Chain A
Amino acid sequence: MQEHIVIIGNGISGVTTARHIRKASDKKITIISAETDHFFSRTALMYIYMGHMKYEHTKPYEDYFWKKNRIDLKRAFVDTVDHENKQLLLSGGEKMSYDKLVLAVGSKPNKFGWPGQDLDGVQGLYSKQDLDMLEANAPDKETCKRAVVVGGGLIGIEMVEMLLTRDIPVTFLVRENSFWNGVLPQGESEMINRHIKSHHVDLRLGFNLDSILADDNGKVRAVTIKETGEEIACNVVGLTAGVSPNVAFLKDSGIELGRGIKVNPMLETNIKDIYAIGDCAEQHEGINGRRPIEAVWYTGRMMGETLAQTLTGNPTAYNPGHWFNSAKFMDIEYQTYGWVFSKPKEGNTHFHWMHKDDNKCITIEMQEGTRKFVGINNFGIRLRHELFDRWLTEGRTTDYVLEHLKDANFDPEFYSHYEKDILDAYNAAYGTSLSPKKKSWKRIFA
């Protein structure tokens, strides 16, 4: 009898685990999901609402893929995990036993106990169900005369962008006094503020949600703002104040929980043969300067790749490399490599360059004195991941990075280049006299 590995959750983490187990072994694999029949890309939900894609397009694998690779898909909701009998209890009373269990159950949108947070018309944007709900709540500007989006993060700005495509006026309520400034340095955060406003969004910086008010039918009719008491009439409230691990169903399971499911670097929980990966996993201590919980697409994928190794006889610790990430703020793309903090870490300093069109900028964090490169945020300019990864490993200086910036440019051909502008600004700031080196394939492929 082949060992039976059961994976709860068919998101990127669970599916990656299943794929890599299959590559390396013949074990029986079952993926359980209550959300959808097939794996789809959560990151693309916004594009369905905006009409760029259909749900079908968000599925990275054709439906025949699962059968062909002998990955059983089970559409069910797991009520409880009984680790003593190595058994799952599914909604409806069905039971499923496992030899190894992988928890890849993802997140759910945060709700901070706001009055009215469970009203009809109040929702997050995380699952396929959330998307369907938004389509029902805000199909057009007649049904939804105004929407209020609460929370100044990545999902919040996506939801704003989505609603704008249906010509729905949006009030964007951001607790911080500048967009995402817990992560972004001031210059970048302020550029995004201006960009949001230029899309005719009613951006309210430094305001908190107080309560959500219902009409006679229990539907949302308005929100009130804590600081001013102002009441804003609306038909939809988007709650996008971050996400947290979806672990409520594990409360009495005996599996150690913090905010998420506690795991060690081997991605093992405190219970033998139960593992947790992706958004729901919480490291006892962050690895390589990362946070204990990383709700990012690629970390879910990497944990899946790692755990599959362990489960197929090659015990491997999760050991992510240099931090990187990306996002898109309406029309402005953003990438980051290494660490750039909103305020430079002790002993570090920032170099900031901004293009006069107000759509492009970079910030480099580096060590004071040595100018050793720590990380870069780039907006409106695409940069090559592999090179920055290498430069970080090699411990290059910012001087070196900027001299070779042409190697790292990843914009489409014929785009204007800004290496010289950036270096001019850098030279002026640090008294250097660097000039950009010509792009070299030799160095790129070194």
Chain B
Amino acid sequence: MKIIKNLGLVIFITGLAIWTASIFMGDFTLQQEQLDSFISEKGIKSELVAQKISDNVVGKKLGTFAFTGAVRDALAQNNDYYDAQIAKYDAAKEWDKKGEQYQYRINDKDFQAFSFSLAKKAGTGFIVENKGLMWFLTFGLGILGALMFIFPNLVLLGKPGIKNDHVYHEAATNRGWIAWLVLVYLVLFYLVLYFNADYVVNWTFILDPISNALNGGDASQWFVYGFLYCVIMVTMAVRMYIKYRHNKYQIVRTTSVLFFQIVFAFLIPEIMASLGKPGYDFKNAFPLDYDFFFEWNLDTLTQSGGLGIFILVWGVVLTLVIVPVMVYFFGKRWYCSWVCGCGGLAETLGDPYRQHSNKSMKAWKLERWLIHSVLVFSLVMTLVTLYCYFTGAEAFLGINSQWIKDTYSFLIGAWFAGVIGTGFYPIFGNRVWCRFGCPLAAYLGFVQRFKSRFRITTNGGQCISCGNCSTYCEQGIDVRAYAQKGENIVRSSCVGCGVCSAVCPRGVLKLENGPEAGRINPTQVLLGNDVDLMDYVNNKEAS
């Protein structure tokens, strides 16, 4: 069994290595016709850009970085030229001419997309010619290796039951060198995905066949991300199924997040896109879905007929009615650990790292400041956006609409949710984003804390303060602090993953939905002592 496991590890690492190396493989040779068609498709007005690319790129056989570098250089040179023109006319006070120059500049944010699109056309060589083989060598080996690594746990972990043996002995799960290596890899992955997608255009070739089958178009970097996300979740869910095979709550919950990720987040939007409709993730609720009220989305939806209007109404109803009502009945777990994609990745890929969330009082304070700030940020941004959308103004309350959207997308959407949120799993735990950043979680948290039937019940006086619950709480809740006092746990951040209850060796914790009365039960003396003393102390505390 150990041999299969180790062999699996070798195969997995081989797949990962080929996947990483594939970035550097293949050649890019751009044809003049390809460039011309792209320029006209995009309606690019600057002849200089076309000229520069034609001179520096077209007809040449370049590697990934040489190609993307040359394209980006051409764009930069073009902008330098027109910036100089702008400065010139500005100095000459020829305002009309100055104004004309802007249309020839290429927005700096669009460099990667520009370069990506050209690279996608220009790719040749091994990967492009062997997409199926490359899929097998990357995804295939990765999945096969991972499963070979995971399946022997059925035997190696022993009988069903909580098996956290050696979590704090191993470099991968105890913040050792493996954990740091994984962190670096994940952070780099997100930096490339969000900010330099043209570097990984080769990855998209590998998934072109699948993308074509699903939506009729070639794969973008977002298709790669979505597909990879599903593959990782499925594979790591197998690990969850084996690790928690004694615990039906974990099995059902894992199946649920898998279903919502694959069907709602991945398949339905792809199929909608293939039908020429706007791709929409029906479970992704605002404000987690922060660009729902952005102009482009509102325009797309209002121009997409009945379906678009339905999505618009659904999105509003989801956030204002469905989400809070469900939280009232079931707690925020129904979303955060049963439905949400971020939660889904955290509960599968992130499960080995759940013990790293910080349980200190300081971390809790930081959490409350941060998460509520992000909620306010997202709401202000949406307010400004909507005001500007309906009035046509560029700013509201002195805040520029485009600026605040860009800032939020960059800081929160890309850095916080992606680079930090997932990249930092191995060191800071699997719920960094959900705990400190997610504005939807903050909103759900209010409902859960103040108006909900959900609680984690503490079983009388059975707690022995061992601390397993706190250690394995991914949200950094010091569960033991409540349990050892006989108090139920009612915390806004609890996502109801159920692991505290699972790891408790004495059967002290139970997630349940019950009457609101008695849900929060501060006690000073626990069950077990004689009743008069309990009354005495509790009454005294209350008075």
Contacts and interface: CB of A to CB of B under 8 A. Distances in A.
Interface of A: 12, 20, 23, 41, 43-44, 47-48, 50-54, 57-60, 62, 165, 198-199, 297-298, 301-302, 305-306, 309, 314, 316, 319-322, 324, 326-328, 330-331, 333, 335, 382-386, 389, 410-416, 441, 444-445
B468 A53 contact: yes
A386 B458 CA distance: 10
B361 to A, nearest CB: 6
B336 interface: no
A302 B529 contact: yes
Contact of A412 (B168, B248, B537): B248
B245 to A, nearest CB: 12
A54 B168 contact: yes
Contacts of B457: 410
Interface in B240-272: 246-249, 251-252
A341 to B, nearest CB: 20
Given A52-B164, A58-B466, A382-B507, 15 more contacts: A50-B164, A51-B170, A52-B468, A53-B467, A298-B461, A302-B461, A306-B533, A333-B507, A335-B506, A384-B459, A412-B498, A412-B511, A413-B248, A413-B249, A416-B248
A41 B461 contact: no
Contact of A326 (B166, B251, B252, B506): B506
Interface string B448-479: 00000000010111101111101100000000
B523 to A, nearest CB: 11
A120 to B, nearest CB: 25
A58 B470 CA distance: 10
A51 B510 contact: no
B507 A335 contact: yes
A319 B505 contact: no
Nearest to A48: B168
A305 B164 contact: no
A297 B529 contact: no
B526 interface: yes
B460 A319 contact: no
B87 interface: no
Nearest to A61: B481
B158 A57 contact: no
Interface stretch (B203-211, B292-300, B512-520): B512-520
Contacts of A199: 158-159
Contacts of B167: 51-52
Nearest to B513: A413
B466 A319 contact: no
A53 B518 CA distance: 33
Given A305-B525, A333-B505, A412-B510, A41 B464 contact: yes
A321 B507 contact: no
Nearest to A316: B533
A51 B480 contact: no
- Chain B interface size, as a band, is 35 or more
Interface string B489-508: 00000000010011101110
Contacts of A48: 168
13 contacts: A41-B465, A52-B468, A62-B360, A62-B361, A297-B465, A298-B528, A326-B462, A331-B160, A333-B505, A384-B459, A385-B460, A385-B527, A389-B527
Given A23-B524, A51-B166, A331-B159, A321 B505 contact: no
A410 B504 CA distance: 12
Contacts of B529: 302, 305-306, 319-321
A58 B478 CA distance: 12
B498 to A, nearest CB: 6
B252 A386 contact: no
B33 interface: no
A291 to B, nearest CB: 15
Contact of B468 (A47, A324, A444): A47
A137 to B, nearest CB: 17
B533 A309 contact: yes
A59 B510 CA distance: 23
Contact of A414 (B249, B466, B527): B249
B238 to A, nearest CB: 19
B390 interface: no
B249 A60 contact: no
Contact of B467 (A57, A165, A414, A415): A57
Contact of A51 (B165, B466, B518): B165
B161 interface: yes
Interface of B is mostly: loop
B460 A386 contact: yes
Contacts, number: 170
Contacts of A331: 159-162, 246
B481 A60 contact: yes
A165 B511 CA distance: 29
Nearest to B496: A413
A441 B514 contact: yes
A324 B168 contact: no
Contact of A60 (B158, B248, B480, B517): B480
Contacts of A297: 464-465
B531 A321 contact: yes
Contacts of B160: 331
A165 B507 contact: no
Nearest to A388: B460
B484 interface: yes
Contacts of B524: 20, 23
A198 B524 CA distance: 42
Contact of B466 (A20, A44, A302, A412): A44
A12 B465 CA distance: 9
Nearest to A303: B529
Contacts of A411: 510
A225 B271 CA distance: 72
B169 interface: yes
B451 to A, nearest CB: 17
Interface string B432-452: 000000000000000000000
Most buried by B among A12, A52, A59: A52
Contacts of B248: 412-416
A413 B455 CA distance: 13
Given A412-B510, A415-B249, A445-B517, A51 B461 contact: no
A331 B470 CA distance: 20
Nearest to B159: A331
A414 B518 contact: no
Contact of B462 (A12, A324, A330): A324
B489 to A, nearest CB: 14
A305 B533 contact: yes
A272 B521 CA distance: 38
B530 interface: yes
A429 B464 CA distance: 36
A413 B502 CA distance: 11
A43 B463 CA distance: 10
**Which 9 pairs show the lowest CB-CB distances between chains A and B?**
A385-B460, A331-B161, A382-B507, A319-B530, A44-B466, A414-B248, A51-B166, A51-B169, A326-B506
A160 to B, nearest CB: 13
A57 B360 CA distance: 11
A298 B527 CA distance: 10
A313 B536 CA distance: 13
A389 B518 contact: no
B507 A326 contact: yes
Nearest to A410: B510
Contacts of A333: 505-507
B515 A445 contact: yes
A412 B461 contact: no
Given A306-B529, A319-B530, A326-B462, A410 B165 contact: no
Most buried by B among A41, A59, A199: A41
Contact of A57 (B159, B470, B533): B470
Nearest to A411: B510
Most buried by A among B468, B498, B531: B468
A70 to B, nearest CB: 18
A403 B507 CA distance: 22
Contact of B515 (A47, A320, A441): A441
Nearest to B248: A414
